[in-house]
Structure 1
Amino acid sequence: MIIGPFLAVGWISSSKTSATIQDEVGKTMLQLVKQNHAMMENTLISVRDKTITFLDNYFFSNPSQLAFWTNISTMGELTEADAILGRWSSDGTEYALYLKEENMLPVDATTKSKGIIYLSGNEEEYPPWAEATLTEKGAGVVRLTSTSSGLPTVSFTRTILHPEKYEETLGFLAVSKLEVLLMKNMIAVQLPKDAAIFLYDSRGELLMQYGEGTLLPGELPGSLGSQESGFSYASGSHAHLYAVSYENGFGTRLVYKIPLASITGNQTQFQRTITVMLGVYLLFVLLFVLYLIRDIIKPLGKLVMFTRVYEPGQRLPFDTSLPRQRTDEFGLLYQAFIRMTQRLDQSIEENYGMQIKQKEQELSALHSQITPHLLYNTLDSIYWYALGSGNQDVGSMVKDLSKLLRIGLSKGKSIITVSEELEHVQAYIRLQMKRYPGVLEVFWEIEEGVESCMVPKVVIQPLVENAIFHGVQSMDGEGQLWLRVRRQGEQLHILVEDNGFIPVDLAKLRQIVDGTLRDKGYGIRNVHQRIQLHYGEAYGLEYRLRPEGGLIASIVVPVQIKD
């Protein structure tokens, strides 16, 4: 009556657990394939956006460039055009322009395999992908094509429409060897042994795969063969898990085919072994309990009574020793209980020390959250600057960025000198002034002798960032920023002022600082909390209006001089 139900429940639980595990594994694999597919989709979107930039630069926005590309008539011009396309092929892909007319070139450009390729007047001799590309009206398609050596390659092709006559087609732009980029996304996922990944285009044609094995037509179970995402298990001697992701953007479909044995392993046999072992173990336990029941119930009841009346810090009102010295488990349990009460009393004294450690951990956690925010904004500035300036002066910006990283991390230190903090802010301001040249002026008023004072790291930069982006960025070169550091008695005052003209809701800003309004102002709230965790609630960050217009951010900390 005891063993039978126990084994039955164990077997049912084992079966349910196996089904639950498979379902969870399937959901996990589905999320994995979707994330992997999203990475590939982003890669294709990046390629598409790059082709838009190419066409905009050379066909749509510059009439002289349009005239150059549509009227190439000499070998020098053809060589120059091929060189331009070669430079656009620097990421491993290969750019090629298929133009519909040939302007009396001294060579036959219809036989070229890359660069500028001229199409003959016979549309039947166009590349196989041309018809599908024309139907997209310039949107572009992803197809499996051939390289110049005849090897298969994944390509993105789009029609080049005339910038003034949209119904007229100038030719095609083809970006081949996309498998170089897509394979980086594909192999980033570590799959179980004997698993395989398959990527299909909108027509169901296999573009590329990673791993051993094949996927036969109609092999996918149920609705996974259509334009739907999901997962399913195929039973049989060679059971597999199929996880499918479909993306509407380019109509691609990513399929994971994973042998079920590589997921579950020897799970079934292991579950059966465990069930048998539990049954045998239960039988021995029943026999053991019948033999020792009289020596267990009574001391156990006494131990329960001890547990109920015990209060930390107070002595028990009765003798806690056993009637006889026992060396078995219950004797050890009694001794452990007495030791436990002693440790509980001791833990009350240690509680204060633990609270201090917890506070230090909170400080570390709060500071670790500010660095990614800084890195994101800084890298964004470098990106836009490089894009707008043609990569000039990027070296100096990277140098400033490395300084930001070095001081921001500070080898794990949370307190640094004012001079290090100011060096960190100067590097950040130099980056912003290169990103937004002529937007603002910066004035420094640093009292002599404050450089050796200690402050929490990365407390000034978030205030400068807010002053630039929310105060003076849109002032057309009239923006001014003041950074003042001075000592007043035993307090160190750090002021960041701007002359911004945008009205400021000071009450709302104070709510953000003190944490009442939590959906905005992460950076300044983090600064305020870190200062208070270091020095107490008497210190922190405060905002007030500037009489001449603008805003003043004020930090007050106690004066601490570096040893």
Structure 2
Amino acid sequence: MPNKFTWNLSIRTKLLLSYLIIIAICLSFFGTIVWKTASNSLREESRATVLQTVNLAYETLTAHMVDVEDILLALQADQVILNTLQYPAANIIDDIETLESELLSVDIFRKKVSSIKLYLLDRGDFPSNDDSIILTDEKIKNEPWYIETVKNDGTFCWNVFHASGSTGIVTASRLVLDTQTHQPIAVLRADIDLLQFAGKLEQIKLGKQGTLFLAADNHIVNLSGSAYINRFVNAPGLSKIINNSTIDNGYTDIDNIEYLVSYRDLKHPSLKLVGAVQCTELDDSSTFVGQAIVFTALISLLLSLLILSFILQNITAPLHRLANTMENFTDNLNLRMEIPSNDIIGKLYKSFNTMMSTISNLIEDVNTLFQKQKVSELKALQAQINPHFLYNTLDSINWMAKKYGAKDISKLATSLGSFFRHSLNKGQEYTTISNELQQIISYVYIQKVRFKDKFDLNIHVDEEILDYSIIKLSLQPLVENCIVHAFEEIDYKGVIDVDGYRDGNYIFLQVSDNGVGANTDELNKAVNKSFNINEPIEKYGLHNVNERIKLYFNDNCGLSFSANESGGITVTIKIEVKEL
């Protein structure tokens, strides 16, 4: 069933729409692949940039902590401090001044640390003033950081205290050992203000809004009170990632927003540098790429439309010319079109020219056949005589012959009348095989009178086929041909045998003679040759019989000639089994 939408569209428009649909599908398919590939690549690149930023911040903070450790190492190895601790002076005030002087001599401008304190172990003789930087350990023995420092046995211990707002501090502590007994004699502690240590972290942006911050003992250090950082407070997904020692980054959902989280341990497992950014920010570049792909696809479609329109105009123009020529065709049979190419369109032009030639030839053949028909009808009329007049005349001759006792003349007239009666056949073209046989019996009697019993007629036809239909005057021309041509030059008695039988759906009638014979190939060609209006009608007796049989029955029927054993000719009539 035709599509209503495309019914009235031109072939150029249909092709254009088809090509555009194919191009759009291809662009969509490949654009999606490119966008997916580019998006994944850009997301990984953005992720790598975030991780690299976190690593750079980690290296900066680590370098700061290493500097602090170097300061404590330098103080631990300070010979003045060691001698003062190992060999106390008689006056404690002098030792305190000496120790304070040494502690204040490092990082004078306090770029790395906020303060450095020395806690003396088991020296109850020293004053315990909280404002001093030289203290005893009496008041701090139960504090976790102190216990951890003693347990670490000379390694650094890092901790974060009071991490709320901007008041927190980061501390590094280490035991000082007696160089002779290798026993702990003091604890060095360096305090670093959080703003001094990590105040610039929140100024570093990961993407548009992502940021860096510290986490100490699973508590978020929010120095500026940022609402963005507050989102991660008490976020189980964040804790799960930063407490997983097997990974250093991962994804988590907070308030239905996916974040990329990366962390690094800062000298101590409880102190971590954390970077967090929304995943949508990682996809900003891929969104731009997607928009660029869509824009490029639209431009490509527009250019394809223009180019295809030009190409299809050149392709379909010959088709339009051919269609217009056929639509406006009148009666110019000599019209031929110039072939534009050697492709399928050129073949259409060739077919059109061939069709015009065929139509012209057919019309010419029809005119020729019409002329032939008129000539044939005229010659047939010229050859006719009034059969009724002849029949009545023969009847009068027969009556007069009987009156005067001329029996031979009476029988001859009766045979001639019977011959004409069967020829007339009440105006019907078809008769029975029985009537056709009666006609040739009458015809042979007349001819035997003429040729003085020069030949005999033998009929051997199966009775079952006598009532079937046959074209009238089919056998008589064959019998006449035997008498006139086959027996013309013989000096013995001629014999004409007529045989008939049925084989399947066909009936075969054979007329054989023992005459002089002839070239059967020439005879077979003669009955099938084309009609020539300039030749006498008498030459087309057998040809007409053959054509009439084919017309009434089918092209498989007709006449055929073959030589027989007696040296004469056998003519076979093949017809279909038909009731009259």
TM-score if structure 2 supplies the norm length? 0.42
TM-score if structure 1 supplies the norm length? 0.44
Q: Which has the larger radius of gyration?
A: 2
